[in-house]
Chain A
Amino acid sequence: MTVAAHGSVAPEAIQRPKSNFQRDLNLVRELSITQFKLKYTGSALGYVWSLVKPLMLFGIMYLVFSLLLKAGTGSKDFPVQLLIAIVAWTFFTEATSTAMNAVAGNGALIRKAYFPRWILVVASTTSALLTFAINTVLVVVVTLALGHLDLTWRSLLAPLYYLELIVLVLGLSLLLSSLFVFFRDLGHIWEILSLVLFYGSGIVFPFALIQAKSPRLADLAGLNPVAQIITDLRYSLVDPSLQSMGAIIGSLVIIPILLSVAALVVGYLTFSRLTPKFAESL
C-alpha cells in the first residue's frame, strides 16, 4: 500500500457564502453550463446541431407552406418571419420538454442532497435559453445585415415579447416538471398539445389567415400566449404593416399576456406544493 506523503494534508475548509441567493445562483450556473456543455460534447458538429435543427424545420416549412401552399404571400419577408417564429418555437418546445424531466431525471441528486429544488428547473430553462439567445442573435444579425428587418420605435417592444416567452416557458416548466413526477403520461400529453399549439399559433402561416377564415376562431386561438408572442414579434421586428395581436383581437390581447404571468404563478405554486413529495416519489 502506498500512502503518499503529499496527499495526507486535507484542504482547509471554506466558509460558504452567507447569502443563500449567491449559492443558489452559483448552482444554477454550474448546472446549466454543465447541461449546455453535455448536450454538445461528443457529437462531431457540436453546437451546430442546435442551429441545424431549427434551420431544417424552417426549410421544410418554407417549402411546404410558403412555396407550395403559398401561405404568407403578400406578407413582407415572410421567410424571415417564419425563421424568427421557428427559432422562438424551438426554444419553447425544447425548453419545456427538457424541463419535464428536470426533477424526475435527477432522482439521485434529490434523494441525496438538499438545495432548493426549483434550481433544477431554472437551470434546465437557462440551458435552453442559452441556445435560444445565441440562435436569436445570429438570426437577427444576419437578417439585419441583409436588410430584412424593419426596426423602428415599435421594435423596442420585441425584448418584452421575448421576456414574456421566457416567463411563459419557465412557468410551464415548473408546472410540467413537478407534475411529471406523479403523472408520467404528461410527457405524451404535452407532445400532442405542443403539436396543436404549433399549428394553432400560426407559426407557419400569418395569424391573419385564421382571422380571414373565421374571426371567431382567431379570437379563440389568439388567446394562446404563443400565438400572441409570435404574431407580435413578427409585427415588431419584420413587418409593420402586419396586424399586431392587439389589432386582431382587440382588448382581449391582455388575456394571453395575463396567461403567461399566470403560468409562472401557477407553475411556481404547484411546484412548491409538490416539492416535499419529490424525494419520496422518485
Chain B
Amino acid sequence: MNPVVEVSHLRKRFRLPLDKSTTLKYRATHWRSSSRYRDLIALRDISFEIPPGQFLGIAGPNGCGKSTLLKILCRIYQADSGFARVNGEFSAFLELGVGFNPELTARENIFLGGAVLGLTRAQLRSKVDEVFAFAELEDFADQKLKNFSSGMQVRLAFSVAILAQTDLLVMDEVLAVGDASFQEKCFDTFSRYKREGKTVVLVSHDLNALEEYCDRVLLINQGEIIADGPAADVTAAYHRMIADHARAAERDTPSTLSRGDPNEWGSRPIEFVSVSLLDGDGQSSRRFETGGPMTLDMQLLVHRDVGDFACGMAIRSADGVLLSGTNTFLDHVTLSSPSPGEMVSVRYTIDSLPLLAGGYIVQVSAHDLGGSEIYDYAAPAASFHIDNRGGHGGMLEMQGRWQVEQEQEQNGPTTVMRQTAG
C-alpha cells in the first residue's frame, strides 16, 4: 500500500532579518545592505514515510524543528528543497479554534470554523446539535464566543475540528490545553482513531501520551531525525538525550544562536563544553521539586586567554519569560584569567527551588566583566521540569505564611483563635 505521508530530504531555512526592513524608509536608506539576515536552519535533511494506519509521534526539545516540519506537512510553509507529500485528505489541528471569531455566536462559529476545515454550510447544518451535545454547550448555542471561558472555547473548537473525515490527522500539542475532563475526551478520541486504524501524526512534549498511543516515534533535534523506532525505545532515547546534555553539547555546540552565524560571537575564546542540571545526589536530572535543590553544572574550555571573565545563567519559563538571571561578577565571584587549554568548572547551586510546576529553560553565557563582549552563549542550554505537587498556582513559590485571627464572641469571655501556617 502507498504510504499516507512521504517526506523526502526536506530542508528548511529561515532568514531572520537583523533589522526592520519592511518600511520604505529602511529600504531607501539601506538599499545596499539588503542582506542583513541571520540564517536559522530549521530542518536539515528529513526523510520518512508513514504507512496507512500508523500512529506516529514526533518528539524533540523546543526549537528542534518539529513545528516547522508539521507546518510543511500541512502546506503552510514551503520547503527549500525536498518534498512532503500527503496522499489523501488531511486535517490539521495546529491550534484549536482556527478561524473562530469571538464576536460571533457559537453557532455561527461552527459554520466558520467548519468552512476553514473544508466543510460546507449545508453539511454542517445537520451536525450542529451533535456538536453542541459533544461540547456540552447546548445552552450556549447563541451566545457570543467572547463570553465563553477558555475551556468552553476549547471544547467547541475540538468538537468542530473532529468533524471532517480525513485520511491523516496532524496534531500539535492539543493536549496541552483544556481541563482534565476535556483531556479525557481528547484521549478517548485518540483511542477511537487508533481502533479505527486512522493515520495520525501527534507532536507532543508529553512522553507518557506518546508512549501510550504511538506505534512509532521520531525524535528530532537540531533539525535532524536522531531516533526513529518504537515509542518506548525513542522516549528512552529522549530521556537519555536530555539527561546527558554534556554529550549533546560536545557534538553540537549548545548554542542555537551561535550556530546561525559562527562569526557573530567571535572566535569563541571560551566554550561551553557541557551544561547539565544535577539533583541533590549530584545525579544529572531534568525533573526537580519545588523547594528542592538544583545545581547547574557548567564545564568551560578555554581556547584563548581573555583575562578575568564572568559566567552567567538565567532561567526562563517555557514561554520565554525571564524569571531570574545572575552572573559571577554580580555575585562577587572571580573567574581569574585561565590559560589556554584549561577546563573551568562552574557550579551554581540553588538550595531551595522557588519554582512551581511547569517546564523551564536554562541559558548560560560566558562574557567579559562588563558584559559587553560575549565569549559563548547557549540558549537553551538545558531544560527541566517541575511536577505538580502542592497545588499552588503560578510559577513562583513565595514561601509566604498565613496568619489568621478570629474573635469569637460567645457567652463567656471573648476568645481569640490564632492559626499560623506557612
Contact = CB atoms under 8 A, between A and B. Distances in A.
Interface of A: 1-4, 6-17, 22-23, 26-27, 29-31, 34, 37-38, 41-42, 108-115, 182-185, 189, 276, 279-280
Interface stretch (B99-107, B337-345, B390-398, B401-409): B99-107
22 contacts: A3-B184, A4-B136, A6-B136, A8-B134, A11-B131, A11-B163, A13-B163, A14-B119, A14-B127, A14-B165, A17-B120, A27-B118, A31-B115, A34-B108, A110-B76, A111-B76, A112-B92, A113-B92, A113-B94, A115-B116, A185-B24, A276-B77
> A-B pairs with the 4 shortest C-beta distances?
A11-B130, A185-B24, A30-B115, A13-B165
**Chain B interface bracket (under 10, 10 to 19, 20 to 34, 35 or more):** 35 or more
Which residue, B24, B101, B120, B166, has most C-beta atoms of chain A within 10 A? B120
Given A1-B180, A6-B133, A13-B162, A26 B115 contact: yes
Nearest to A30: B115
A115 B115 CA distance: 10
B31 interface: no
Contacts of A3: 181, 184
A112 B98 contact: yes
Given A27-B118, A29-B121, 16 more contacts: A1-B181, A4-B136, A7-B135, A11-B134, A14-B127, A15-B165, A16-B117, A16-B118, A30-B112, A31-B115, A38-B103, A111-B76, A112-B76, A115-B116, A183-B24, A280-B14
Interface of B: 14, 22-25, 27, 71, 74-78, 89, 92, 94-95, 98-99, 101, 103-104, 108, 111-112, 115-121, 123-124, 127, 130-131, 133-136, 159, 162-166, 180-181, 184-185, 188-189, 192
Nearest to B89: A16
A185 B25 CA distance: 8
Given A11-B162, A184-B23, A114 B92 contact: yes
Contact of B23 (A42, A109, A114, A185): A185
A268 to B, nearest CB: 18
Contacts of B108: 34
A10 B189 contact: yes
Contacts of B119: 14, 16-17, 23, 26
B101 A34 contact: yes
Which residue, A6, A9, A37, A185, has most C-beta atoms of chain B within 10 A? A185
